[in-house]
Amino acid sequence: MLGGPYRKTLTASTKANHMAALDWKSPFRALFCAAAGLTAAILAGCSPSVVSTDPALATFMQRFSQSEMTRLPEEADALGLSIEAFGRRYQSLLDDRSMAVSERTRADRLDLLHELELIDRSTLSRDSQRTYDTALITLRNTIAVAAHGHGVSGLGSASPYIITFADGAFTDLVRFMTLHAPVRSRADAEDWLTRLDHMDEAMRDERRRFEVDVEEGVIPSRAILQRTLDKARMLSPGIPREHPLVAYFTEQLAQIPDIPEDDIGKLVKRATDQVGGPVKTEYAALVKMLESLLPKAPAEPGAWATQDGEAYYRDALKLYTTTDLSPKQLHDAGLKLVEQISTQIEPILVEMGQVEGGIGGRLRTLSLDPTYLFPDTPEGRVALMDALRERITWAETAMGRMIVMGPKGKVEVREAPRIAQDSAPGAYYKAAPLDGSRPATYNINLRSTLDFPIWSLPTLSFHEAAPGHHIQAGLARERMNQPLVNYLIAQPAFSEGWALYAEDLADELGAYKDDKMARLGYLQSLLFRAARLVADTGMNSQKWTRAETVSYLLATTGMSPQIIESDVDRYTIWPGQACAYIAGRETIRRLRTGAQQQLKAGFDIRAFHQAILGPGARPLPVLEADIADWIATQRPQPGKK
């Protein structure tokens, strides 16, 4: 369990109850107030009539859950789902990536949306209305993106391209088979080999879908295609026994005491033959296709260049942000926020003796100063990881003033697996599986300690662990009796918005009070997220070139060229996703300001955060309706003292 402060009954301090007044006003306030039509519609239907339709919704959510989960045995394994919950044994299955299943998924979601819309929302309890609204918004937004007829669309996430350097069976299955498919027994080994036997089929099915998109003119940009080709070549089996799949399988078998050496040899041979045969053949086919596409690939990235590009991007933005804000509104608001945050950074840079050049250039100079870097040695890596853990411990102790309770499970700091380093962000969080087989992890992509100035580490830990992702996602994972589909729905505006807001909470708790360099790291993190908003919309809507986008981010944020180029490629393959962070943060901040103004001395910061975190991740309009309800319950009732 997290530390004692979570369980203490504290009187929230005046300081904790009132958000620290930063020196900028959010350019999002007017935008989100103007885009609150759906929230108003949700609130308008909050009075249930006599006959409840909660049972009908519960039946629907069960059907929705089974419809989605039955296609995702790989996700079931990563989640640690029981066989009973999945509905059948899945440990030897891979996701079906065929065109037939892709089309059936789209049809099923349309049917589910129609079925959901037949339920009378006005007869639902308030909790059920929240479930209804979340499902409705998720299905509508997901279906809208899928209707463009290309790429992939999950519940709350999408990409216009089926295969990229970060997505596709050729890379996903290597990660999955080596990170989420444990081999602890002879039976596990047989299941693992059965999955391996179907890997070439999965790759072939996916490649054929990609070819259909290519025929329609949906081709990733040259830079993305080149990175994808390079990765396909890297993962293509050379000496099969040395391939990551066979190496992992061999290593796992060696840990199982009751399998004789002769049998281990036979099992390894089966894996080697499969990787060196059908799997190698399929990699060769993928490489050949990618090579043939390079001359046809667009020189520049951007959703605008795809089929129905402008409409696709608007729908992708709505999917990721759960708002109706246009690309231009988001772009302009991002520019204003960049300017305002830069004004906060300027005096710190001057105090540090950095007076010449732009903000980004001076931040970059500081980030290269050996004074602020751990040595790129084994000892330096240990010291960096220890620094991350120390900040988490501090945050867990301090958060009692802000948050009622945290999740029962702890979070462990780990280096990101090397197999995932090339496409993963600098750090990321993974919630604990449902079966408790591993803890929640805060993964640091430690290609080099030189990528992480010491002053950037506190805010990174507050975002990924406490009070950020681990508190929000950990509590959501531990909620009882929730629909299974909740584990499959991505809500980046809520989850990333909370994590970014958590950086603000750390500031309020005094994390940077006596450390101006750590405060600089906090402001640079906000600057980076605001600049990403500008870059995502600039490249995907305003036709910025890749070079222009990279140049803008380098000049604005001071991040390294490697980080910037990797990030720009992420905006290319997941257009709109980078806009979710600021959209969520600004919504939470606006809701808090509104609650403070309405409740005045009656505002309780811990209760406010509980109202946000308690029901789990959900679309921003649903969150707004929940907070409006919460404010109403906090007001003194007539006739009561």
Read off the amino acid at residue 499: A
**More confident: 240 or 13:** 240
pLDDT tier at 420, thresholds 50, 70, 90: confident
In this prediction, what percent of the chain has a pLDDT beyond 70? 91
What's the full length of the chain, in residues? Answer: 641
Residue 474 has pLDDT above 50, yes or no: yes
| Structure confidence by residue, pLDDT tens digits, 300-323 | 999 999 889 999 999 999 999 999
Residue 63: the pLDDT is: 97
Q: Are 5 and 394 in contact (CB under 8 A)?
A: no
430 forms beta bridges with 441
pLDDT tier at 25, thresholds 50, 70, 90: low
Residue 12 has pLDDT above 70, yes or no: no
Gap between the terminal Cα atoms of the chain: 37
Residue 50: the pLDDT is: 43
Omega within 30 of 0 (cis) for the link into 467: yes
Q: Are 570 and 325 in contact (CB under 8 A)?
A: no
Residue 175: the pLDDT is: 96
Residue 42: the pLDDT is: 59
Work out the mean pLDDT of the chain and round it to a whole number: 92
Residue 635 has pLDDT above 70, yes or no: yes
Residue 442 has pLDDT above 70, yes or no: yes
pLDDT tier at 423, thresholds 50, 70, 90: confident
| Structure confidence by residue, pLDDT tens digits, 92-150 | 999 999 999 999 999 999 999 999 999 999 999 999 999 999 999 999 999 999 999 99
Tell me the whole-structure pTM to 2 decimals: 0.92
- Tell how strand 440-444 and strand 411-415 pair up: parallel
**Cα dist from 60 to 131, 232, 259, 305, whole Å:** 11, 41, 46, 38
| Structure confidence by residue, pLDDT tens digits, 243-253 | 999 999 999 99
Q: 99-133 b/e with 16+ CB inside 10 Å = b?
A: eeebeebbebbeebbeebeebebebbeeebbbbbb
CA distance 509 to 398: 7
In this prediction, what percent of the chain has a pLDDT beyond 90? 88
